[in-house]
Chain A
Amino acid sequence: MMRVFAERMVEYLSWAMAFLLCLSLSVFLSYLLIKGLPSLGTELVFGKADPLSVLMGRERVFDGIFPAIIGTLCLVVLSTVIALPLGICSGIYLSEYATPVMKKAVGGLFDVLAGIPSIVVGLYGFSVAIFLHHHFSGRLGPCLLISALSLGVLVLPYIVRSTQTSLEELPAHIRHTATALGATRLQNIAYVLIPNALSGISSGVILAIGRCAEDTAVILLTGVVATAGVPSSLLAQYEALPFYIYYISSQYTNPAELSNGYGACLVLLGICSALFMVAHGMKKRLFHWALYRL
């Protein structure tokens, strides 16, 4: 009797927790929509500038979030490009080549890295920026590249661990198929293991993209400013949406500005969703390509 009761309770509790989670998410999204929708429009993005002129590069935006959108996109793409090869190669090493001792040691280091607060990574990036500033007579300093490098370090553990775990979790029958057909270890990794582990790897990449898009602490110390315009080069300062949201919500002078902050939140969510969808779409294409390229 007690056992039946306990089983029912666990079932109801699980259901209730899942429902609560969905409800919280819905409330949160609805709140953002209610607060942010009124400000969504070309004025939020381009301010008083003509959108076409801005897109053609003929006019600068001074009171819109267009530069922050471009800055965020640049940041996400750059950090991912930096972290992806490093993370995937390290994951492959840990899963396929490392001895148990190395696996423990190197894996432990990545776990430590995953646990480092982002502000500490930002501080490290800041120190690098100061070092470069001193040694390159002011030509180098906090900039988009240093932010991207710092964010790359921050998200590296996600990619490493997701690659390692998804490779290690592949069933023996997939792992041994090509090997038994005479594939070398590299051929097995390239033509069978990686394509079959792509789903798990891409989850790590999606997490990493999300983290790159939303992290404020790192960029705060490494190159983001309130008014820099569209980044002109990798060594230039830039604007980013998370910083804009932080800045406007802590410094707003009227309700319209705060509403712009909520609007920027919606834009950031939209960008993240679009990036996730692109990553998901690429996963399917990559899986097909990776399996059939031989």
Chain B
Amino acid sequence: MDKVPKQKKEKIIFDSVNFFYGTRQVLYDISATFYSNTLTAITGPSGQGKSTLLGLLNCMWNEVPNTRCSGDIQILLGGQWVSPLRKDISLSHLRRKVAMIFQEPNPLPMSIGKNMAFPLKLAGVRDKYLIEEKVHTALEQAFLWEEVKDRLEESALNLSGGQKQRLCIARALILEPEILLCDEPTSSLDSKAAGIIEELLVSLKKDCTLLVVSHYLDQVRRIGDLVMTLENEGLTNFKERSS
């Protein structure tokens, strides 16, 4: 049964996107549509550009030297269509609204509370009570509040792998993103921790649109409303199929 809602609302549109690392092309003429409040799982063999595809949405590819991209990407943010490739939105604003979770949990070497408050402070929020409230809400959203509510002053590096990844998700959620990009978020975790993260990602659909890159086919089928495969058959093509 198709898990995609009947009233699909377009959120992200890729239009003939090509991407190059130097002279090596990794994405070939990608055209695809992703829908609001949907979890789209992207799978495929290694080296096909799955992570690159995610990185295009919040312009993380800008951080890699000697790269170029052609085509267009349209994202519906705050009710308006913006194009990150045409740079008609500031990078900071784009990355706050299109958050990213990496394969390796990456808490900063500071306390749990400071890690959570960090993105808000970067955004210029100084109201202590507002920060506390948002930290609480985001940690609850990430199923982590009960486990860390008495340890907010402890170093985030002391958390377990799964807790660190949930902290990173909570840290991304604190900015109330409209899109959450997850680049193999469970690949460094054991099955129990991975299960909690899966459950968390599914629960987040009500608040944002999720794109999850994963190597695990069973996981992709379990959590994805849509499953897309990025594979190389001479030309890399992009197939869409309902789960």
Against A, the Cβ 8 Å flags (1 = close, 0 = not) of B78-122 are 000000000000011111100110101010111000100011011
Contact check, B102 vs A173: say whether CB atoms are below 8 A apart.
yes
Contact check, A294 vs B118: say whether CB atoms are below 8 A apart.
yes
CB nearest neighbor in B for A99: B65
A136 CB within 8 Å of chain B = no
B63 CB within 8 Å of chain A = yes
Residues of B contacting A176 with CB < 8 Å? Answer: 60, 63, 102, 106
**How many whole Å from A188's CB to the nearest CB in chain B?**
9
Contact check, A181 vs B110: say whether CB atoms are below 8 A apart.
no
Residues of A contacting B94 with CB < 8 Å? Answer: 182
Contact check, A291 vs B109: say whether CB atoms are below 8 A apart.
yes
CB nearest neighbor in A for B107: A177
B211 CB within 8 Å of chain A = no
B172 CB within 8 Å of chain A = yes
What's the Cα separation between A100 and B118 when bound, in Å? 32
A184 CB within 8 Å of chain B = yes
A93 CB within 8 Å of chain B = no
Contact check, B110 vs A191: say whether CB atoms are below 8 A apart.
no
Interface residues of A in 195-227 (CB under 8 A from B): 196
B58 CB within 8 Å of chain A = yes
- Per DSSP, chain A at the interface is helix
CB nearest neighbor in A for B122: A183
Residues of A contacting B122 with CB < 8 Å? Answer: 178, 181-183, 187, 191, 294
Residues of B contacting A182 with CB < 8 Å? Answer: 91-96, 119, 122-123, 175
Residues on A lying within 8 angstroms of B by beta carbon are: 100, 173-184, 187, 191-192, 196, 291-292, 294
What's the Cα separation between A180 and B168 when bound, in Å? 11
Residues of B contacting A177 with CB < 8 Å? Answer: 106, 108
**How many whole Å from B46's CB to the nearest CB in chain A?**
17
What's the Cα separation between A184 and B93 when bound, in Å? 10
B171 CB within 8 Å of chain A = yes
Interface size class on chain B is 20 to 34
CB nearest neighbor in A for B172: A181
The A-B contact count (CB < 8 A) is 63
**How many whole Å from B113's CB to the nearest CB in chain A?**
11
With known contacts A182-B93, A294-B118, A192–B60 Cβ distance under 8 A: no
Q: 8 A-B residue contacts at CB 8 Å?
A: A176-B60, A176-B63, A178-B122, A182-B123, A183-B92, A183-B122, A191-B122, A291-B110
Residues of A contacting B63 with CB < 8 Å? Answer: 175-176, 179
Residues of B contacting A173 with CB < 8 Å? Answer: 102, 104, 106
CB nearest neighbor in B for A175: B63
With known contacts A176-B60, A176-B63, A291-B110, A181–B102 Cβ distance under 8 A: no
With known contacts A100-B65, A173-B104, A196-B109, A180–B121 Cβ distance under 8 A: no
**How many whole Å from B181's CB to the nearest CB in chain A?**
9
Residues of A contacting B60 with CB < 8 Å? Answer: 176, 179-180
Residues of B contacting A192 with CB < 8 Å? Answer: 108
CB nearest neighbor in A for B93: A182
What's the Cα separation between A240 and B198 when bound, in Å? 67
Residues of B contacting A183 with CB < 8 Å? Answer: 92, 122
What's the Cα separation between A101 and B199 when bound, in Å? 48
Contact check, B109 vs A179: say whether CB atoms are below 8 A apart.
no
Residue among A179, A196, A292 with the highest chain B CB neighbour number at 10 A: A179
CB nearest neighbor in A for B110: A291
Residues of A contacting B106 with CB < 8 Å? Answer: 173-174, 176-177
CB nearest neighbor in B for A177: B106
Residues of A contacting B91 with CB < 8 Å? Answer: 182, 184
